């Protein structure tokens, strides 16, 4: 809101996600709410002074009211995806014209030639930089306050006219100071919609589409502390992503253009069955014709961040071993247990020195702080018998300064039906490689929000070896819903380098990850929406219909059974999707 008396991006402000309901209490007192940002008819973001909200814990607030933390999903496939064949077919070669591709990521290098028309003007319709102004107290001098333009209460928006004015100047960043210091967002934008460079054998999947970009601000310090995330990690707040989705939808409505939202972000927080606020907001998009969301599946396979538990009816407990690395011993980490069905569990602990903490009682909305005699460790345990969003039991464990070595979490069944549960450690980038489960499961490792039913969730494969990427997250969801939907090339994908040299051409490099596969699929979706809606072949194209077309056209290996946990329904082939329509 433009009338907000504070800048919600400030480190002194706490953010809460509020879901409307006749009997649902506010997470904080009404008089402590400084302002709010409306997301949908279901969700709004509430801002309050951090001093009034602290300490942030599940003993005071509901699980999903505290924003989750997301990170980047990264560590010549156009021919393999059937996109080049579409370009070479005159009746289909719309190349995404008239469609918006929304990039929610680390920003974009708007000066890169990959995003310019031949006359030097921009193909970007707008950029919302949530991180500006940098002091987060007032709009930057000479730069308009974003809130005055579109109603959000933080960040700065740059219009197409402003970007073009900057491009025509000798010092573009003095006029439009938004930058992609990471390069991830620029890379994804190029894969999805970068210009064709025939002399360098490069083209985006939808080179005639336009871009709308949100640069996410970094997560606030108090949330990094709550989730025990390093201060230098690439980490983004759930509520900021939700606001970015709203921004994309408003841009689509105002411009009257179809929209494909690309998300190369993910988290291991949550039930892994689309019960989070962000998942609900993304699912809501599936009801709007001409809009679709494409999400990276994640790169969690083989990283030992998931444990699939199973306790027999006559079994007293199960021990889950976690090797804790030295980096976590200096800080900590969080661990989540989600039950299956109506089962309930309790926990105990065994430290590396052999100190044993017995079975904790299951009390409604309790918070237990556990200290150790021989170790400087504090474990905070919140047991939620029924978490509101999922209806499942959640045990949230927060380890502070855990001693390096092997910890055992002893899982006790309380109410027994199936005896099944899942444990997740944080996703890669939010925890060191040395903190792992010693008996992990590679399945049910698709990161949120990739478990959302409506959107197109994409795993990564190699277009040269026709094999799945070794770290591409595997399905299905915790509730058995089929994810991923498709695989697409995501190994050694060519895209723009962060370094800009004076030599002719665009410096290129290669990256690997499911976010790159999702970027190609987003471009393919834009091409299909352009053919359907912009060219008038199917004005009622929905996300569900678009996904079905891509699934029907997917390449499938006759030696595999589909759908499966790695490939979903097969490998993206846009040309084959068009051919299937003839039948």
Residue 143: predicted pLDDT: 45
Do 297 and 310 share a domain, yes or no? Answer: no
Closest to 407 (Cα-Cα) out of 431, 387, 449, 436:
436
Going by C-beta distance under 8 Å and a sequence separation of 6 or more, which residues neighbour residue 304? 425, 436, 437, 438, 440
pLDDT of residue 311: 94
Is 221 inside any structural domain?
yes
Distance CA 100, CA 213 (A): 10
- Per residue in 135-174, pLDDT (tens digit) is 655 544 444 444 434 567 899 999 999 999 999 999 999 9
DSSP string, 338-365: EESTT-EEEEEEE-TT--EE-PPP--TT
The answer to whether residue 18 scores a pLDDT higher than 70 is: yes
Question: Is the same domain home to 99 and 232?
Answer: yes
Lowest-confidence pick of 57-61, 432-436, 495-499: 495-499
pLDDT at 562 over 80: yes
Q: Following DSSP, what letter does each residue of 184-245 receive, concatenated?
A: HHHHHHHHHHPPPBGGGTB--SSTT-EEEEEEPPPPPHHHHHHTT--TTS--EEHHHHHHHH
Overall pTM > 0.85: yes
The pLDDT, as a whole number, for residue 509 is 87
Contact status, residue 223 vs residue 54, Cβ threshold 8 Å: no
Q: What is the mean pLDDT of residues 229-245?
A: 96
pLDDT at 499 over 70: no
Instruction: Please count the CA atoms within 13 angstroms of the CA of 12 that sit on its side-chain side.
Output: 7
What average pLDDT score do residues 441-460 get? 97
The verdict on 225 and 338 lying in the same domain is no
24 against 287, higher pLDDT:
287
| pLDDT at residue 2 is higher than 70 | no
- Split into its structural domains, the chain has a count of 2
Range of lowest pLDDT (221-235, 236-250, 369-383, 485-499):
485-499
> What is the average pLDDT score of the chain?
91
Q: Is the dihedral of CA 464, 467, 471, 477 positive or negative?
A: positive
Query: Is-contact 84 90, C-beta < 8 A?
Result: no
Report, as an integer, the average pLDDT of 278-307: 96
> For residues 371 and 6, which has the higher predicted lDDT (pLDDT)?
371
DSSP 8-state secondary structure symbol assigned to residue 564? B
CATH number of the domain residue 98 falls in:
3.40.50.200
pLDDT at 452: 97
Per residue in 166-211, pLDDT (tens digit) is 999 999 999 999 999 999 999 999 999 999 888 888 889 999 999 9
* CATH, residue 410: 2.60.120.1290
d(CA 287, CA 289): 7
Q: What are the pLDDT digits (tens) for 47-69?
A: 999 999 989 999 899 999 999 99
Q: Which of 437, 458, 482 is the last residue of a domain?
A: 437
Q: Which domain holds residue 427?
A: 306-437
In sequence order, what are the beta bridge partners of 448? 267
268 plus 124 within the same structural domain: yes
**Looking at the predicted structure, is the pLDDT value of residue 516 above 70?**
yes
Pull the structure tokens for residue 466: 């026709």
Question: For residue 549, what is the enclosing H or E element?
Answer: helix 543-553
């Amino acid at each position: 809101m433009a009338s907000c008396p504070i800048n919600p991006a400030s480190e002194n402000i706490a953010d809460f996600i509020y879901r409307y309901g006749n009997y649902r209490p506010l997470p904080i007192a009404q008089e402590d709410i400084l302002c709010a940002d409306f997301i949908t008819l279901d969700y709004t973001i509430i801002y309050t002074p951090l001093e009034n909200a602290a300490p942030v814990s599940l003993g005071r607030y509901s699980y999903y009211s505290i924003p989750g933390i997301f990170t980047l999903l990264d560590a010549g496939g156009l021919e393999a995806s059937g996109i080049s064949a579409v370009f070479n077919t005159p009746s289909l070669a719309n190349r995404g014209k008239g469609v918006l591709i929304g990039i929610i990521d680390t920003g974009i290098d708007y000066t890169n030639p990959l995003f310019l028309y031949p006359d030097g003007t921009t193909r970007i319709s707008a950029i919302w930089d949530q991180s500006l102004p940098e002091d987060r107290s007032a709009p930057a001098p000479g730069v308009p306050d974003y809130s005055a333009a579109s109603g959000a209460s933080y960040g700065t928006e740059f219009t197409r006219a402003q970007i073009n004015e900057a491009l025509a100047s000798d010092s573009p960043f003095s006029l439009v100071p938004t930058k992609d210091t990471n390069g991830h967002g620029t890379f994804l934008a190029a894969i999805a919609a970068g210009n064709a460079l025939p002399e360098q054998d490069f083209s985006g999947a939808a080179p005639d589409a336009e871009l709308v970009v949100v640069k996410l601000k970094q997560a606030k310090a108090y949330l990094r502390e709550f989730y025990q995330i390093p201060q230098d990690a690439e980490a983004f707040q759930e509520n900021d992503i939700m606001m970015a989705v709203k921004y994309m939808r408003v841009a689509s409505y105002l411009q009257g253009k179809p929209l494909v939202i690309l998300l190369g972000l993910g988290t291991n927080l949550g039930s892994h069955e689309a019960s989070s606020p962000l998942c609900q907001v993304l699912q809501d998009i599936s009801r709007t014709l001409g809009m679709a969301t494409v999400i990276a599946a994640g790169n969690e396979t083989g990283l030992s961040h998931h444990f699939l538990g199973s306790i027999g009816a006559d079994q007293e407990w199960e021990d889950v071993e976690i090797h804790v690395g030295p980096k976590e011993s200096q800080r900590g980490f969080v661990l989540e247990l989600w039950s299956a069905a109506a089962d309930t569990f309790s926990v105990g602990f065994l430290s590396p020195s052999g100190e044993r903490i017995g079975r904790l009682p299951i009390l409604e909305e309790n918070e237990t702080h556990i200290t150790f005699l021989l170790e400087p460790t504090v474990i905070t345990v919140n047991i939620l018998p029924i978490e509101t969003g999922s209806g499942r039991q959640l045990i949230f464990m927060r380890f502070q300064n855990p001693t390096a070595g092997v910890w055992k979490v002893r899982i006790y069944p309380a109410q027994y039906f199936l005896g099944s549960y899942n444990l997740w450690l944080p996703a890669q980038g939010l925890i060191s490689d040395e903190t792992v489960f010693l008996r992990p499961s590679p399945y049910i490792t698709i990161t949120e929000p990739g478990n959302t039913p409506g959107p197109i969730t994409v795993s990564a494969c190699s277009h040269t070896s026709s094999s799945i990427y070794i770290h591409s997250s595997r399905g299905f969801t915790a509730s058995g819903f089929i994810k991923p939907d498709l695989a697409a090339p995501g190994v050694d994908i060519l895209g723009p380098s962060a370094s800009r040299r004076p030599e002719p051409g665009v410096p290129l490099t290669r990256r690997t990850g499911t976010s790159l596969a999702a970027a190609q699929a987003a471009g393919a979706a834009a091409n299909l929406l352009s053919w359907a809606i912009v060219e008038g072949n199917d004005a009622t194209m929905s996300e569900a219909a678009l996904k079905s077309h891509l699934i029907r056209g997917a390449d499938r290996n006759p030696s595999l059974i589909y759908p499966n946990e790695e490939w979903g329904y097969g490998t993206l082939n846009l040309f084959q999707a068009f051919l299937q329509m003839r039948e």
